[in-house]
Amino acid sequence: STVICVFEKDAIGIDNDLLVNSGRSLETLVSVGMQLGVSTRTFARSTLI
């Protein structure tokens, strides 16, 4: 089984080590709660729902 998360374009800056490994077609062993990335912009919640 697999989970895929899709973020809006340019909404997240994914941690570099994860991107580097993936760019080598290499999966990274991670655990729940480890940092994935940081938001790159702020959204107004009122526009979301």
Partner 1 sequence: MGNGNSREAKESRRSRLRHKLQKFRIHRRHLRSSRNSAGMVIQRTVSAEDFSGIALLTLIGAEMKFKDKWLACVSFGEQTFRTEISDTTQKPIWNSEKKLLLEKNGPSLARVSVFETNRVARNKIIGYCELDIFDFVVQEPESTCKSFNLLDPTSSNVVGSIFLSCAIEDPVETERRFAKRILSIVDYNEDGQLSFSEFSDLIKAFGNLVAANKKEELFKAADLNGDGVVTIDELAALLALQQEQEPIINNCPVCGEALQVSDKLNAMIHMTLCFDEGTGNQVMTGGFLTDRQASYGWMFKLSEWTHLSTYDVGLNTGSSASYIVVIDRKSKRLVEELIDSKIVLSMRAIYQSKIGLRLMDQGAKEILQRLSEKQGKKMSSVESAQKIPRFLEFFKDQINMAEVKYPLQHFKTFNEFFIRELKPGARPIACMNRNDVAVCAADCRLMAFQSVEDSTRFWIKGKKFSIRGLLGKNVNPNAFLDGSLVIFRLAPQDYHRFHVPVSGVIEQFVDVSGSLYTVNPIAVNSKYCNVFTENKRTVAIISTAEFGKVAFVAIGATMVGSINFVRKEGEHVKKGDELGYFSFGG
Give residue 45's identity as a one-letter amino acid code.
Answer: R
Shortest distance (Å) from residue 40 CB to partner 1: 9
Shortest distance (Å) from residue 35 CB to partner 1: 4
Residues 4-33 that bind partner 1 (CB under 8 A): 4-9, 11-12, 14-15, 17-19, 21-33
DSSP-assigned letter for residue 33? T
DSSP-assigned letter for residue 34? S
Task: For CA atoms 23, 24, 30, 34, give the dihedral sign.
Answer: negative
Using CB under 8 A, list all residues that contact partner 1.
1-9, 11-12, 14-15, 17-19, 21-39, 42-45, 48-49
